[in-house]
């Protein structure tokens, strides 16, 4: 995590400043810009549900380049583009593209930008989106570069928290699971710090949030708490953000099973939770949230999945330039 | 007794005020195997400020800006003296750039800049100058010891 420093004066910024902008890392966005995206996403909800229609991006094309598997990110971007009246093209299997012939990412991007108005990219290599942005005149949206950044997921998460909890100031957010390697966690934590949330990190020692990140958060005045017991942390939580513990991080399978079991969220663990608790998960889940939790009022992870559409509609309309 | 134990050079470059122990790395940057002139290295010699320093003298050779940038990473306080006809024709302190471009390889094997054939130079933001801390502009990774990864 880098130093949190976004104290510049952004009062002059308008939505015009988004047009043509790359969305590579959440740290490229100011607090005001994040607010603008969240506010616009709110207006997009009836369009995302199909209750209203718009042709804001009619005639515009989005290129979806997925060099790694994706369900929610790809489909929600495609859905968002269609809901805005635009069209999608894309690569979902690199074996069926010139990448299989050894084409560089730089050349692929320079080709695709000839056919589209914006590019969405998921790639296994860290920094791939930054490289793509360098070679593309058209805006590039990073949808995950290996274990690196996934900024639009962070915006989806923030949007969900805001819809469920209102302002995040002084709210207690408990993050549980793989806090060391989890792609979504670091940028979410960085963004939550901007909005004044208190953060508790629940993880086994080997997957706990890096000390360096905690120091940066504390320096920025964020209240942080490291906890290894899930039940202790849940009592005061307003938001419980669960991530998958990745099996491949454990050299010993039995060690994984022991750890994964102790961080499983089920109705028993939730006995002491606040009634208003919001449970989130970026999905896919394996067994870190028991299916019985799905039927509680607290489970918001499928709402979170829906929220991806209005957020991505907001981003696309801002960077491609269409008024809804 | 004179301060220096080697004779002045007619033409070339004197890199002075190198941090103790860094002289051999500075030589490595200059591609010592390809130099066809005399090189003198002084290690752990007294400095006027009461400390110790290394000094490298290379005859008949002037540094290019890329080499100066590399030296600035290893020896941020070094002084470059360009010698012409026994006189100091130019003298300047190295200045570490804000962005280090194309002279260090990223230590993250999964970084896109380590993919062969991608036509891109590495770029690092200098997060701190003392000690030198570099962050890859592409993968965001804070770099470990980069002195072995100078390109």
pLDDT given for residue A324 in this prediction: 83
CB contacts of B141 in chain A (<8 Å) are: 126
pLDDT digits (tens, 9 = 90+) for B37-62: 888 999 999 988 889 999 999 999 88
- A124 shares a domain with A157: no
Looking at the predicted structure, is the pLDDT value of residue A4 above 70? no
pLDDT-above-90 percentage for chain A: 67
Quick check: is A197 in a domain? yes
pLDDT for res A293: 97
- Out of A32-36, A278-282, A316-320, B22-26, pick the least confident: B22-26
Q: Is residue A258 part of a domain?
A: yes
| One domain, residues A163 and A300 | yes
Q: What is the CATH number of the domain that holds A239?
A: 3.40.50.1370
Give the pLDDT score at A13: 47
Picking from B111, B140, B141, the nearest residue to A125 by CB comes out as B111
CA atoms within 13 A on the CB side of B113: 23
Confidence of residue A300 (pLDDT cuts 50, 70, 90): very high
Give the model's pLDDT for residue B3: 58
Nearest to A130 among B117, B127, B138 (CB): B138
- Residues A138, A226 within the same domain: no
Give CA separation, B10 vs A83, A158, B16, B38, B62, in Å. Answer: 74, 66, 16, 11, 12
Looking at the structure of chain A, the number of domains it has is 2
Inspect the interface and report whether the beta carbons of B120 and A2 lie closer than 8 Å: no
Answer whether B118 sits within 8 Å of A106, measured CB to CB. yes
Q: Which of B101, B106, B112 to mutate to test the interface with A (most CBs of A within 10 A)?
A: B112
Span B100-131, pLDDT tens digits: 999 999 999 999 999 999 999 999 999 998 88
| A6 occurs within a structural domain | no
Q: Which residues pair with B87 in a beta bridge?
A: B84
Considering the domain architecture, whether residues A127 and A61 belong to the same structural domain is answered as yes
A137 & A192 share domain? no
- A58 and A180 assigned to the same domain: no
Over the stretch A183-211, which tens digit does the pLDDT of each residue have? 678 889 989 999 999 999 999 888 899 88
Q: What domains can you pick out in chain B, each with its CATH number? A: 12-93 (3.30.70.140), 99-149 (2.30.30.20)
Residues A252 and A163 both lie in one domain: yes
Residue A219 lies in a domain: yes
Contacts of B111 in chain A (CB under 8 A): 125-127
Do A175 and A260 sit in the same domain of this protein? yes
Residues A46 and A83 in one domain: yes
Q: Is the pLDDT of residue B87 over 70?
A: yes
Give a yes or no: residue A90 inside a domain: yes
Contacts of residue A147 in chain B, CB cutoff 8 Å?
110
Least confident of A9-23, A69-83, A251-265, A309-323: A9-23
Query: Quick one: A158 and A299 in the same domain?
Result: yes
Encode pLDDT of A28-59 as tens digits. Answer: 999 999 999 999 999 999 999 999 999 999 99
Q: Distance between the two ends of chain A, CA-based, in angstroms? A: 35
Q: Strands across the sheet with B99-101, in order?
A: B99-101, B123-129, B132-136
Phi first, then psi, for residue B51 (nearest 5°) are -95, -155
- Please give, rounded to a whole number of angstroms, the shortest distance from the CA of A126 to a CA of chain B: 5
Task: Verify whether the Cβ–Cβ distance A106 to B111 is below 8 Å.
Answer: no
Residues of B in CB contact (< 8 Å) with A are: 108, 110-113, 115, 117-120, 127, 135-141
**What pLDDT is stored for residue A8 in this prediction?**
43
β-bridge pairing B52-59 and A198-202 = unpaired
Classify residue A96 as exposed, middle or buried by CB count within 10 Å of its CB (0-12, 13-18, 19+): exposed
Looking at the fold, whether A144 and A158 belong to one and the same domain comes out as no
- pLDDT band of residue A11 (cuts 50, 70, 90) is very low
Q: Does B120 sit within 8 Å of A131, measured CB to CB? A: yes
- Give the separation between CA A12 and CA A108, rounded to whole angstroms: 36
User: What is the DSSP secondary-structure string of A185-233?
Assistant: HHHHHHHHHHTT-EEEEE--GGGSPPHHHHHHHHHTT--EEEES-HHHH
Check whether A10 has a pLDDT greater than 60: no
Across B22-43, average pLDDT: 84
Q: Which segments of A221-289 does DSSP mark as H helices, in order?
A: 230-234, 253-262
Does one domain contain both A91 and A196?
A: no
Determine, yes or no, domain membership for A1.
no
How many pairs of residues across A and B have Cβ atoms under 8 Å apart?
A: 55
**Given an 8 Å threshold on Cβ–Cβ distance, is A127 in contact with B118?**
no
ipTM of this predicted structure? 0.85
Q: Among A15-19, A162-166, B86-90, which stretch is predicted with the lowest mean pLDDT?
A: A15-19
Say if the Cβ atoms of A131 and B112 lie within 8 Å. Answer: yes
* Percent of chain A clearing pLDDT 70 (strictly above): 94
Q: Taking CA A107 as the corner, what is the angle to CA A102 and CA A109, rounded to the nearest 5 degrees?
A: 120
For residue A234, pLDDT beyond 50: yes
Residue A104, min C-alpha distance to chain B (Å): 6
Taking only the tens place, the pLDDT of each residue in A102-135 is: 899 999 999 999 999 999 999 999 999 999 999 9
Nearest CA in chain B to A108: B118
Sheet hosting strand A239-242, strand order edge to edge: A224-227, A198-202, A172-176, A239-242, A278-280
Is A136 part of any domain?
Answer: yes
Give me chain B's average pLDDT, please: 90
Taking CA–CA distances from A145, the nearest residue in chain B reads B139
Q: What is the average per-residue pLDDT within A212-230?
A: 88
pLDDT exceeds 80 at position A96: no
**Considering only alpha carbons, which residue of chain A is nearest residue B114?**
A125
CA nearest to A188, candidates A39, A67, A34:
A34
Please check the confidence at residue A303 and state whether its pLDDT lies above 80.
Answer: yes
CB contact under 8 A, B111 and A134: no
Domain of residue A84, residue span: 15-149+308-321
* 18-77 of A, contacting B, C-beta below 8 A: 25
Name the residue among B112, B135, B141 with its Cβ closest to that of A128: B112
What residues form DSSP beta bridges with A64?
A: A90, A120
**Of the partner residues B113, B119, B127, the one whose CB lies closest to the CB of residue A127:** B113
Confidence band (pLDDT; 50, 70, 90) for A7?
very low
Assess if residue A89 is contained within a domain. yes
């Amino acid at each position: 995590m880098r130093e949190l420093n976004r104290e510049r004066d952004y009062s002059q910024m308008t939505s015009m400043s988004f047009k043509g902008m790359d969305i590579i890392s959440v740290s490229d966005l100011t607090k005001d810009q994040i607010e603008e995206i969240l506010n616009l996403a709110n207006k997009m909800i009836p369009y995302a549900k199909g209750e209203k229609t718009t042709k804001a991006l009619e005639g515009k094309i989005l290129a979806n380049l997925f060099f790694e598997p994706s369900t929610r990110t790809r489909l929600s971007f495609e859905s968002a583009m269609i809901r805005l009246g635009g069209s999608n093209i894309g690569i979902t299997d690199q074996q069926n593209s010139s990448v299989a012939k050894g084409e560089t990412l730089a050349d692929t991007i320079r080709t695709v930008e000839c056919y589209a108005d914006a590019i969405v990219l998921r790639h296994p290599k860290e920094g791939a989106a930054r490289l793509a942005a360098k070679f593309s005149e058209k805006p590039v949206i990073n949808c995950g570069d290996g274990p690196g950044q996934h900024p639009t997921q962070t915006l989806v998460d923030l949007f969900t928290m805001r819809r469920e909890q209102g302002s995040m100031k002084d709210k207690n957010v408990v993050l549980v699971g793989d806090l060391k390697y989890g792609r979504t966690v670091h940028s979410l934590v960085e963004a939550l710090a901007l909005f004044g949330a208190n953060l508790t990190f629940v993880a086994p020692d080997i997957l706990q949030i890096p000390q360096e990140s905690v120091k940066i958060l504390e320096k920025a005045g964020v209240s942080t708490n490291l906890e290894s017991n899930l039940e202790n942390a849940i009592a005061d939580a307003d938001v419980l953000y669960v991530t998958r513990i990745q099996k491949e991080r454990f050299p010993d399978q039995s060690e994984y099973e022991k750890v994964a079991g102790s961080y499983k969220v089920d109705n028993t663990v939730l006995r002491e939770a606040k009634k208003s608790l919001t449970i989130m998960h970026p999905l896919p889940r394996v067994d870190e949230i028991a299916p019985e939790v799905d039927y509680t009022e607290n489970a918001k992870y499928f709402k979170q999945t829906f929220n991806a559409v209005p957020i991505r509609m907001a981003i696309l309309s801002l960077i491609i330039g269409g008024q809804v | 007794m004179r301060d220096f134990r080697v004779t002045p050079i007619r033409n070339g470059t004197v890199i002075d005020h190198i941090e103790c122990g860094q002289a051999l790395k500075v030589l490595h940057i200059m591609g010592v195997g390809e130099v066809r002139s005399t090189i003198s290295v002084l290690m752990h010699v007294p400095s006027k400020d009461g400390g110790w320093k290394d000094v490298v003298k290379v005859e008949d050779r002037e540094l290019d800006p890329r080499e100066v940038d590399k030296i600035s990473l290893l020896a941020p306080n070094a002084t470059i003296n360009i010698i012409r006809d026994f006189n100091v024709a130019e003298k300047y302190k190295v200045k570490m750039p804000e962005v280090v471009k194309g002279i260090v390889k990223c230590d993250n094997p999964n970084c896109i800049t380590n993919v062969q054939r991608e036509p891109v130079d590495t770029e690092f933001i200098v997060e701190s100058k003392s000690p030198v801390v570099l962050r890859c502009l592409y993968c965001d990774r804070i770099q470990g010891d980069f002195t072995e990864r100078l390109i």
